[in-house]
Amino acid sequence: MLLKQTLESLPQAALIRQEDATRWLEGVMRWHADRAPWHAKRLGGIGGSEMGAVIRGIQNLKGKGGFSNLQQVVESKLMMRLPSFETAHMRRGNALEHLARLSFLYRYQATQDTNALTSIASAKQREGYEWCIGNPDDFVIINGKRFLNDYKVPSTYTDDIDFDYEVQLHHYHLQARFAGIKVEGLLLTKLDLAPEIAASLVQKIHSLSQPDLHDLAKSIAKLDMPGFRVVSHVVDIKRDMHLDILDCGYHCWNEFVLKGQVPSLSNNEKLELDELALFDVAQYQYQYALAKAGISHLEKVLQKASEGLTGRLQDVDIEDKEFPLSIVKIAPNGRDKERVIQEALARGATETELASEERKYSIVALIEEIKRLNGNPDAEHLYSSSLDIAKADAYLRAAGVDLRDFNKPGISLRLSTKKQDKEMAGVFERSAATVLEQWMDENSPCNQHVDGMDAIEEPFREATGTLQEAFADAHREGSHEITSTKRPTRSAGMR
């Protein structure tokens, strides 16, 4: 009943479509039932964690990061978007926030100002700014002065203060001012825990007794070393940021939410290319086509060389043998595992002797066991479900969502398959073949020898393996002639 009253009392209730409200309510009760009243109340304004996205969107700020955008904030207020699903980062922050608080209190010899927390929770909202809502993490007293504190438990610690976090603190500071609560400064406190420690604590924190929790916080405060410490950063109070919050928040709430309008993402607008830029694009396209042609020819050469080596070394014992060029490694393929196992069984090995240490379930055996126990092997909960991207695509299109906003960064490149374009690609490949074949001929050591390695046209700049030794006499400064050479020692014999 309370949930229904909260939703019906929303100032934007008349602008929310019934189908959106129905889906939102069903989704919240399915995924967030334990926090449904909190999520419903959150629809009635803009919270501190959302304000950074609002400012970034309205002021078109780029390079400021953030976990959401203006469009998503407005959609959430119009019940077009469900609350965010809990991620590993959110789970870590929620589970370890109290540990961060206790560690801070011990580390900085502070006390929690519960009176200020009670006052801001019960304070009347400022007329005209009823949309300014939120729940500050903490008010603390240090050396007789009150500070507004926000706790974070990042996956990786840095000294940086993200834009959205800075906005969040200023948002809560405005709330405090509206409630008549004076603060001396703003603090962003980070609990710096090594990833493996944080992951373990997330699983165990709720089973710790209060004395154990306090002992852990004292240890963090006392040890104070990277990966096991709490660090508090002072955030300067900026009047301009207060004004940005008031202006952008007012605009977002009154011009978008209360009018049922979802803003477009201006930072995704595409630019038109000028003639110079188009020339650059054409040049890169040409280079791409030529490179593809060269690669295509070289892949054929590579395939031919691979087949040649395979044929030439057929029935040759190549295991642990050296060949003329060490730059190309030649070795037998790995064992045919199935043939090896069958051979071992044929020679008397038992399955017990060959049993793998790794055990895997047999699906067939599991189904038979379910049937034996009078279970239903076709029960829905026994199947792992996956979500269909095509259905998600269709759903979003029907909702009028511009799917271009979900394209991956970068561009996709491929050669055209149109007839005329394929013909042009063929011309490029034939041209590449002429150039590359000449280059390969000029650099082939075999073509640099006359009469079975009796002469060489150019010395190698670098040679490797046994070939380097065979050509050692040829590498004379300023001379392209060879007086005598030895043939490489045969190192791979016929079986």
**pLDDT confidence of residue 469:** 44
3 state SS of 79 = coil
Task: Say yes or no to pLDDT of 41 above 60.
Answer: yes
Instruction: Please compute the mean of the pLDDT values over residues 213-242 and round it to a whole number.
Output: 98
Q: Which residues pair with 141 in a beta bridge?
A: 111, 146
Report the alpha-carbon distance of residue 162 to residue 51 in Å, rounded: 13
User: What's 125's DSSP letter?
Assistant: P
Report the alpha-carbon distance of residue 174 to residue 320 in Å, rounded: 75
Instruction: Please compute the mean of the pLDDT values over residues 244-253 and round it to a whole number.
Output: 98
When pLDDT is cut at 50, 70 and 90, the band that residue 447 belongs to is low
- Asked which of 128-132, 410-414, 447-451 is least confident by mean pLDDT, the reply is 447-451
User: What's 338's DSSP letter?
Assistant: H
Instruction: Please compute the mean of the pLDDT values over residues 257-282 and round it to a whole number.
Output: 80
For residue 411, report the phi and psi dihedrals to the nearest 5 degrees: -130, 165
**pLDDT confidence of residue 374:** 92
H or E stretch covering 33 = none
Q: Which amino acid is at 347?
A: R
- Across all residues in the chain, what is the average pLDDT? 88
Q: What is the pLDDT of residues 466-484, one digit of tens each?
A: 434 433 444 444 433 333 3
**pLDDT confidence of residue 343:** 93
When pLDDT is cut at 50, 70 and 90, the band that residue 273 belongs to is confident
Question: For residue 361, how many other CB atoms are within 10 A of its CB?
Answer: 7
Please spell the DSSP secondary structure of 237-294, one letter per residue: --HHHHHHHHHHHHHIIIIIGGGT-PPP-GGGPPPPP-HHHHHHHHHHHHHHHHHHHH
**pLDDT confidence of residue 404:** 85
Q: What is the pLDDT of residues 135-145, one digit of tens each?
A: 999 999 999 99
**pLDDT confidence of residue 412:** 85
Report the alpha-carbon distance of residue 379 to residue 387 in Å, rounded: 19
* Alpha-carbon dihedral sign for residues 458, 462, 465, 469: positive
pTM: 0.68
**pLDDT confidence of residue 156:** 95
Range picked from 109-123, 313-327, 414-428 for highest mean pLDDT: 109-123
Q: What is the pLDDT of residues 300-337, one digit of tens each?
A: 999 999 999 999 999 899 988 889 888 899 998 888 99
Task: Say yes or no to pLDDT of 70 above 70.
Answer: yes
What pairing do the DSSP bridges indicate for beta strands 145-152 and 138-142?
antiparallel
Report the alpha-carbon distance of residue 234 to residue 245 in Å, rounded: 20
Q: What is the pLDDT of residues 356-372, one digit of tens each?
A: 888 888 889 989 999 99
**pLDDT confidence of residue 354:** 93
Residue 319: left if φ>0, alpha if ψ -120 to 50, beta else—which one? Answer: beta
Report the alpha-carbon distance of residue 66 to residue 59 in Å, rounded: 14
Report the alpha-carbon distance of residue 65 to residue 158 in Å, rounded: 15
**pLDDT confidence of residue 203:** 96
User: What's 405's DSSP letter?
Assistant: G
Q: Which amino acid is at 348?
A: G
* Residue 376: exposure state from Cβ atoms within 10 A (0-12, 13-18, ≥19): exposed
